[in-house]
A and B are shown apart, each in its own frame.
Chain A
Amino acid sequence: MSDEHGPVQVRGEVLSVRRVGGYHHMALTAPGVAERTRPGQFVALAVGGPDTGLVLRRAFSIHRVSSRGVYGGTVEIVFAVAGAGTAWLAAQGAHAIVDVVGPLGKGFSLPREPGTATLVGGGYGSAPLFTLAEQLRERGCRVDFVLGAAAADRVFGALDAKRMASTVAVTTEDGSTGTRGIVTDVLSDVLDRSRSDVVYACGPMGMLRAVSAVAAHHGLPVQCAVEESMACGVGVCMTCVLPVVGDDGVTRMARSCVEGPVFRGDRVRWDDVGSIPADTYGAPAGGGAAR
């Protein structure tokens, strides 16, 4: 049964839904979720209301939590409308009831010693990075941000980033704000200037792959929160898997919902995401023999 660290399932009440640039920001009550949440963890929401035809949960990384205040525990998420489920969420008003399961997955690991951390967010993938930045700051770490998106209205949280980071670099593919280009165009410079010790990243898989390569080039550890499509979010459906190398050097198809969503960037076989590498444990071609 549920313990003090495990997820809970609660009926959340929507407090507000508002547009932020090209995204939606939702705050809802979720008693018990806030108290347990670590940066990088996520919630899985049921969408569509009772008797909905939308049978799968939608997973959202947790932007912020508050365990105090007039509403008790609250959770905030940021999302883009990408289909019927997110459209339904965006259309909910205050007092709507949404079934919440969380917090789920493994969050970011924090460094034991004070150091310098560079946080890289792509689109609304930056959402979980601000509570991470606050906790890093509380531990005496210097924080630098790199935020990238297709266009200015898709850069999420630049003002928050400026408030808590030593430097903030913004890139947009159309050049509508910041540097024209993608995050990895400026990341090397940021890492050099800040003398970064560690990189944290959240965003599309292509970005995470590129950020991991830059971090590796600089010899830096990198933690990536992946965005894999999930059906359940709690570890039973086996749909959100990707090839990850374990401590024993063997590649396994790891569930991003329970073994992630945060993985060491050097352990994810980014080039093989979407396939079963031949040497994967249990692969059809007799893989996993390495063990």
Chain B
Amino acid sequence: MTRFTVRTVPAPDRAEQARYDLRTVLGSFELANPVMTASGCAAAGRELNQFFDVAALGAVATKSIMVNPRSGRPTPRMAETSSGMLNSIGLQGPGIAAFLEHDLPWLAEHGATAIVSIAGSSVEEYSELARRLRSAPGVAAIEINISCPNVADRGLVFACDPDAAARVVSEVRGRSAPSVPVFAKLSPDVTDIVSIARACVSAGADGLSMINTTLGMAVDMDTMRPVLAGVTGGLSGPAVKPVAVRCIWAVHAAMPEVPIIGMGGVRSGLDALELILAGASAVAVGTAIFHDPSAPTRVLRELRDALVARGFGSVADAVGHAHRPPEPHPRPGDEDAVDDLETAGAEG
């Protein structure tokens, strides 16, 4: 096409948006809207509730909880990188007992939909966590963090091995209440993420969360030594969004029926839409929260505008849209169709 017309997206009709149904369905798991916090970037919701009503989100995914209290890794734990950051927190947390006593009830009292992220260093620990959560009220879903890169032994990253991943998923699925959906959170640091995804689904995962951080490292130019006390850390932020899109695309292409929660570098509604078009049915906002503590509600607002502007009748209509064959070329003289296509291109 040689003609190039510029057209702004019409001002959103607020009344129309208020009516817009943002519900999304992940298998048996229905959410009021598709935007949630990413595990590890929202603690257990309390701090962010100072800036927006956490109950207004589709869900709050808690920081990964372990069986025992954990001090985490030494500092420095964080390094800013180009359009991203490295972290090596090392899963600092209060342990499951304190979580069940203080954090989960708080989320329930405030009307938040809680996705409880769990992490362990052995299959037995995951099993214990699932058992303790089974009798706890207010667990909307469980996200199994099998992909935290900040562990001393890379061999312990369950998400790097299909058999290990399957063992953890099978154990947690078996120990959890049948009505509580279980999602496995995958690492992008694997040769073939589809094979890991298949192993998790075969082991009983109701859905998949993608992606966890990707392992990275930075050297301080003043000290000329590694910035992080833990040497390596997980890279997150806008820099990893294309990696998330690639992983979601590949898994959705292989298993279009498996619900995906997408995360990785989302900081705007268009970023969220990009993950949805690649195959995610819900999207989590993570590192962007550090830059803007009200980012999740802003992303939700922007996502709704973006869905309306592109004519999607529902979130479901947009899920995996990028996999569908392109629509037929507009006929010459069909001005509206040309405008629509070019607007979408310029926006994307």
Listed stretches A195-203, A212-220, A230-238; interface member? A230-238
Contacts of A229 in B (CB 8 A): 76, 78
Known contacts A236-B43, A282-B95; A57/B72 CB under 8 A: no
Contacts of B49 in A (CB 8 A): 1
Give CA–CA (A240, B293) in the complex, Å: 17
Pick the 5 closest A-B CB pairs, nearest first.
A282-B69, A239-B78, A232-B290, A53-B83, A282-B71
Is residue A283 contacting chain B, with contact meaning CB distance below 8 A?
yes
Contacts of B76 in A (CB 8 A): 229, 239, 274
Known contacts A46-B291, A56-B291, A258-B47; A231/B78 CB under 8 A: yes
Is residue A242 contacting chain B, with contact meaning CB distance below 8 A?
yes
Give CA–CA (A242, B229) in the complex, Å: 13
- Contact across chains for A282 and B50 when beta carbons are under 8 A apart: no
Is residue B23 contacting chain A, with contact meaning CB distance below 8 A?
no
Is residue A288 contacting chain B, with contact meaning CB distance below 8 A?
yes
Partner of B71, one of A2, A46, A53, A276: A276
Give CA–CA (A239, B268) in the complex, Å: 24
Give CA–CA (A282, B288) in the complex, Å: 28
- Contact across chains for A232 and B293 when beta carbons are under 8 A apart: yes
- Contact across chains for B72 and A241 when beta carbons are under 8 A apart: yes
- Contact across chains for A253 and B290 when beta carbons are under 8 A apart: no
Partner of A9, one of B51, B53, B69, B78: B51
Contacts of A258 in B (CB 8 A): 47
Query: B residues within 8 Å of A by Cβ?
Result: 41-43, 47-53, 63, 68-78, 80, 82-85, 87, 89, 92-93, 95, 229, 237-238, 287-294
* Chain B, interface SS category: loop
Partner of B89, one of A3, A234, A238, A283: A238
Known contacts A55-B238, A241-B77; A281/B69 CB under 8 A: yes
Contacts of A237 in B (CB 8 A): 41, 78, 87, 89, 290
Give CA–CA (A276, B294) in the complex, Å: 32
Contacts of B69 in A (CB 8 A): 281-282, 288
- Contact across chains for A234 and B293 when beta carbons are under 8 A apart: yes
What would 8 A/B residue contacts be, using CB atoms closer than 8 Å?
A: A53-B238, A232-B289, A236-B48, A237-B87, A237-B89, A237-B290, A238-B77, A284-B71
Query: A residues within 8 Å of B by Cβ?
Result: 1-3, 6-7, 9, 46, 53-57, 99, 101, 228-229, 231-232, 234-242, 252-253, 258, 273-276, 280-284, 287-288
- Contact across chains for B73 and A235 when beta carbons are under 8 A apart: no
Give CA–CA (A143, B63) in the complex, Å: 44
Give CA–CA (A241, B72) in the complex, Å: 10
Give CA–CA (A258, B47) in the complex, Å: 9
Contacts of B289 in A (CB 8 A): 232, 236
- Contact across chains for A55 and B84 when beta carbons are under 8 A apart: yes
Contacts of B48 in A (CB 8 A): 234, 236
Please name the residue on chain A nearest to B89 by beta carbon.
A238
Assuming A55-B237, A240-B75, A280-B71, what are 16 further A-B pairs, CB within 8 angstroms?
A6-B50, A9-B293, A53-B82, A55-B287, A55-B288, A234-B47, A234-B51, A236-B43, A236-B48, A238-B43, A238-B63, A239-B87, A274-B76, A282-B68, A282-B71, A288-B69
Contacts of A240 in B (CB 8 A): 75
Give CA–CA (A2, B53) in the complex, Å: 9
Please name the residue on chain A nearest to B93 by beta carbon.
A282
Q: Shortest Cβ distance from A99 into chain B, in angstroms?
A: 7
- Contact across chains for A281 and B92 when beta carbons are under 8 A apart: no
Q: Shortest Cβ distance from B26 into chain A, in angstroms?
A: 24
Contacts of B68 in A (CB 8 A): 282
Please name the residue on chain A nearest to B75 by beta carbon.
A274
- Contact across chains for B291 and A1 when beta carbons are under 8 A apart: no
- Contact across chains for A56 and B75 when beta carbons are under 8 A apart: no
Please name the residue on chain A nearest to B110 by beta carbon.
A1
Known contacts A234-B47, A282-B71; A57/B291 CB under 8 A: yes
Partner of B51, one of A2, A228, A231, A274: A2
Give CA–CA (A273, B51) in the complex, Å: 31
- Contact across chains for A253 and B71 when beta carbons are under 8 A apart: yes
Contacts of B78 in A (CB 8 A): 56, 229, 231, 237, 239
- Contact across chains for A55 and B50 when beta carbons are under 8 A apart: no
Contacts of A242 in B (CB 8 A): 75
Please name the residue on chain B nearest to A284 by beta carbon.
B71
- Contact across chains for B74 and A236 when beta carbons are under 8 A apart: no
Contacts of B95 in A (CB 8 A): 282
B237, B288, B290: most-surrounded residue (chain A CB, <10 A): B290
Contacts of B293 in A (CB 8 A): 9, 101, 232, 234, 236
- Contact across chains for A273 and B294 when beta carbons are under 8 A apart: no
Please name the residue on chain B nearest to A291 by beta carbon.
B69
Give CA–CA (A231, B51) in the complex, Å: 17
- Contact across chains for A55 and B80 when beta carbons are under 8 A apart: yes
Give CA–CA (A274, B73) in the complex, Å: 9
Give CA–CA (A54, B291) in the complex, Å: 8
Q: Shortest Cβ distance from A135 into chain B, in angstroms?
A: 25
